[in-house]
């Protein structure tokens, strides 16, 4: 066991992958000499050189476009976008090219690349640097999507992403980089696309991912003190989605709520709630409840920012109303 931060785990995953496979390289703004906007690649240029830690101009389209071409040519690029808010700048390269190349070429070639970026609130970065845009990715067939909540998953999911034959968008929550946990990097690697049941209870199921896993677990502790036992499912990846685990737990318990930091309307919570309602209808005691971000631009105000996304208190209060 070793204690490390979420940021350290990501760096170690990149280091191990680059040491094992010289086809792996990192490309993006300030990923080399500066060490990445959030310090994930700090020090790697001294180990692997500037050919494998490639600093680029400020052009998200060029970063992702170069990565797509490199992946098609046999390399394994890790492209970094400073903020997921800028993913719209890359949607031709990512959504029209990377996501569709395997289909368009009849399976003869793939795009084995990883797009690392970060999203979410927590730093008062304002409306253009605080969004949760995972629904953009989830809406695009051909893109895989991983969103780790724990330090161990930061390591293992990134290693797993680099083994995939198709493009993976890997979204790290900006509020988790300093999260510190004891991890065993030699432990058996969790299956790619398999959700984790972080807590088991018989009164309701909370389905969530990324930073909201921690809010859900804190809420579950508070609910337990009030006599309500909640199951907490950490999805880990949204594509592939482990709906078998969701179905089994919802059918066992009969109540479900979905928690997401993304906006309520047409978001991840809406999709998951719809599927649970459709596929588990005969087992539900109550309608599925969504707890999600407000349909507003994120404020730079600390108080307004915090109030615009789910909190531990909101998750707990919603759960109490659902079970009552």
Q: Distance between CA 234 and CA 209 in Å, rounded?
A: 5
Q: Yes or no: say if 171 and 158 are a contact pair by the CB < 8 Å rule.
A: no
CA distance 169 to 2: 27
Q: Is the peptide bond before 93 cis (omega within 30 degrees of 0)?
A: no
Distance (Å, whole) CA 234 – CA 211: 10
Active site residues: 129
How far is 211 from 213, CA to CA, in rounded Å? Answer: 5
Cis previous bond, 240, omega within 30: yes
- Beta strand extents in 102-167 (DSSP E only): 114-119, 144-146
CA angle 263, 266, 268 (to 5 degrees): 70
């Amino acid at each position: 066991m070793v204690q490390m931060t979420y940021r350290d785990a990501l760096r170690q995953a990149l280091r191990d992958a680059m040491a094992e496979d010289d086809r792996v390289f990192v490309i993006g703004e300030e990923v080399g000499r500066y060490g990445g906007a959030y310090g994930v690649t700090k020090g790697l240029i001294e180990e692997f050189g500037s050919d494998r830690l490639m600093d680029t101009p400020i052009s998200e389209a060029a970063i992702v476009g170069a990565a797509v071409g490199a992946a098609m040519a046999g390399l394994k690029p890790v492209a970094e976008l400073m903020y997921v808010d800028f993913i719209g700048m890359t949607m031709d390269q990512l959504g029209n090219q990377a996501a569709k190349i395997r289909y368009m070429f009849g399976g003869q070639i793939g795009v084995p690349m990883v797009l690392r970026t970060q999203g979410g609130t927590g730093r008062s970065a304002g409306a253009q640097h605080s969004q949760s845009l995972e629904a953009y990715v989830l809406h695009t067939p051909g893109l895989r999507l991983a969103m780790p909540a724990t330090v161990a998953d930061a390591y293992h999911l990134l290693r797993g992403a680099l083994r995939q034959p198709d493009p993976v968008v890997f979204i790290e929550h900006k509020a988790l980089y300093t999260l510190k946990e004891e991890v065993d990097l030699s432990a058996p690697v969790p299956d790619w696309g398999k959700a984790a049941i972080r807590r088991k209870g018989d009164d309701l199921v909370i389905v969530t991912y990324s930073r909201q896993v921690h809010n859900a677990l804190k809420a579950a502790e508070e609910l337990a003190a009030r006599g309500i036992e909640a199951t907490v499912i950490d999805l880990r990846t949204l594509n592939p989605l482990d709906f078998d685990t969701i179905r089994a737990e919802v059918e066992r318990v009969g109540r479900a709520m979905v928690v997401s930091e993304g906006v309520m309307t047409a978001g991840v919570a809406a999709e998951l709630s719809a599927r649970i309602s459709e596929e588990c209808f005969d087992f539900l005691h109550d309608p599925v409840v969504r707890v999600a971000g407000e349909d507003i631009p994120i404020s730079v105000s600390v108080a307004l920012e915090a109030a615009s996304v789910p909190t531990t208190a909101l998750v707990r209060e919603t759960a109490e109303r659902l079970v009552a």
